[in-house]
Structure 1
Amino acid sequence: MDIQVLGTLGVRDDGVSITPTAPKARRVLALLALRADTAVPVPALIEELWADRPPRSARTTLQTYVLQIRELITTALEANGNRSVTAKDVLATHPGGYQLNSGDGHSDVWEFERLAGLGYRAMDAGDHQRAARVLREALALWHGAPFADVEPGPQLEIEARRLQESKLCALDQRIEADLRLGRHRELLSELTVLVSKYRTHENLHGQFMVALQRSGRRSEALDVYRRLRNTFVRELGLEPSPALSRLQHSILLATPHQTPSAQRPAVSRLAPLAS
């Protein structure tokens, strides 16, 4: 089974889609696919569908959505000539829940998490070349927001935020690896977009400041700090972290031939992400 949730939802059995078109059935499959090979409790699925106001028929209606997905699985199995497995084997009923069995298939979330972990370990080992390459591979698995074509309920909203935060961590580390490799000029256009999108993310602003300074654009690097500080004070009632303030100070004192240390500021407080 091939599972894709880092973008539009796609679940296929040997290339044949089992993704329903009905919105709530898609929501059920999205949650089952994200947690493939793990039983998802019925209360979690009911909460996903109806939040804190489920109808009296919630369990019966959920069973209807499960049957719709199983019908699509049956069609896919027949199209692939697979008679040794049934739809109930693929989408199994467990005590108190349902489980989508991947059959040792592929999940873009699993692959992203595997590659990101390799990238983090490479960073810790000082292998910045490998870290940049592996983290770039991990980020290439993303094709949009998680479950981009699914109207999410409470469970999927939480999972989407978790995945977006994981993506942002991987992106932060990949940019850091590229900075360590001296690719500051190549990063300028990307960081210009990122600091506009994440207006209060200190690490990204710090990385942008370093990239600008190393590119001989010290005044612009200082402008980045001033804009961030104004946003912090106006919107959050906070000052930037001491680490970012030290970076700004080092840029102020640097001569035209000096650049800030390659070691990124250890920002201890990440402000909330912009929406």
Structure 2
Amino acid sequence: MKWQGRRASRNIQDRRASPGGGRRVGSRGAAQGIGGVGLIAVLIIGYFLGVDVSPLLDGGALDDSSTQRSAPLSAEEREAGQFVAVVLADTEEIWTQVFREQVGEVYRPPQLVLFSGATRSACGGADGASGPFYCPPDRMAYLDTAFFDVLRRRLGAGGDFAAAYVVAHEVAHHVQNELGILPRANQMRSQASEAASNRISVQIELQADCYSGIWAHYADARLGVVEPGDLAEALNAARQIGDDTLQRNAGRRPMPHTFTHGTSEQRESWFQRGYDSGQIGQCDTFNTSRL
């Protein structure tokens, strides 16, 4: 992926800070959280066992006095932050055009919070065990850039375009929020049985994969930043984080009724669908007979 030397988004909060407070990149005020000690080992446990391990980490209010990091950002961390800012800028440009052309509305981009170990969000305490996520109440995506190492070393999904897919997927949840899809789906989940709620969750995630494919479509067709092999990296990332593959790699028999993100085949297929079409209308996972 061609990203060096290109425009970076200003909609970034960088909370991977030295003691004394979070750094803020952009124009909306000071950061409200401080990154903490890395919890990447716990994150790996959560992904491979298919369980939410946040209760082990006390996901409530964080104590700033115990979560400050003592070291400045490494060169690798700084580069990861620059990379994310460029990818986020691309999503802003692409979704602004897509909303104008396909929706007839103005796209309001999200903020993206970079953190290390733990931080706060309007959805509660955020930590590495949850992986990258989007919080609808504050319209922010959250990312511990250490997840890129997990993606590459532990999940077998290396490459810069695979990392960009992670960013694009969380932005895709923001797109769902902007379109009113996410609040309706979450309302349905709150009133559904566990099995039905899991299925709705899968529909949400697969649609986000499809929207990520739309991002890749226009990153290739309009921005010209996609290089040979990039699409394969994104598809491999989608495949490696399918529920069935994660459970199988954890030594467990895949249990479809517990899936919340979709199988590897589904995730790869819906990303490809978005990439091939470039159309929001082709990503309706809620009104199809076959996911």
TM bucket normalised to smaller: under 0.3
TM-score, structure 2 length as denominator? 0.26
TM-score, structure 1 length as denominator? 0.27
- The structure where helix makes up a greater share of residues is 1
Larger Rg: 1
